[in-house]
Amino acid sequence: MAKDTYFYALGRRKRATARVRLQSGKGNIVINGKPAVEFLCGSEYLAAELKKPFTVIEKDTFDISAIVSGGGFAGQVDAVRLGIAKALAAMNEDLKGTLKRAELLSRDPREKERKKFGFKKARKQRQFTKR
């Protein structure tokens, strides 16, 4: 893989959308122009979730640059993780089976349910009063 070639993938989770670029490098992860540790505010759990595709393939010599919008921290990290996995699969078809077995290539379809008319939230009703 040449120095300036990269692989692009899109990852989504809840309301978050991540555009991920993967290229060979030293293992740097940059999200929205900040290093991943700074972007995640030092959360070790989210950092481990972000690096899961690399632990599955046992290789982390790739530079990642991602642009994320929408959602919260957890949704954004899951969107970036899906984007990384898709970019790895696009780069090398042999990795696709490994990533699929680790359930990293499937999008989590759960979304927030919309609020209904006459309810306080999506399903929460007003308190019943007998009198």
Residue 86 to residues 55, 69, 101, 115, 123, Cα–Cα distance (Å): 15, 18, 13, 33, 35
23 CB-near residues (< 8 Å, 6+ apart): 1, 3, 4, 5, 6, 7, 62, 63
Read off the pLDDT of residues 88-125 as tens digits, 9 standing for 90 and up.
Answer: 999 988 999 999 999 999 999 999 999 999 999 999 99
Task: Fill in the DSSP letter of residue 116.
Answer: P
Domain ranges of the chain: 7-101
Query: CA-to-CA distance for 125 and 123, rounded, in angstroms?
Result: 6
C-beta of residue 119 within 8 angstroms of C-beta of residue 125: yes
- Domain with residues 7-101, CATH architecture: 2-Layer Sandwich (3.30)
The model's pLDDT over 21-52, given as tens digits with 9 standing for 90+, comes to 999 888 899 999 999 889 988 889 998 999 89
**pTM of the model as a whole:** 0.88
User: How many Å apart are CA 52 and CA 47, to the nearest integer?
Assistant: 9
Q: Which residue has the tokens 């927030």?
A: 112
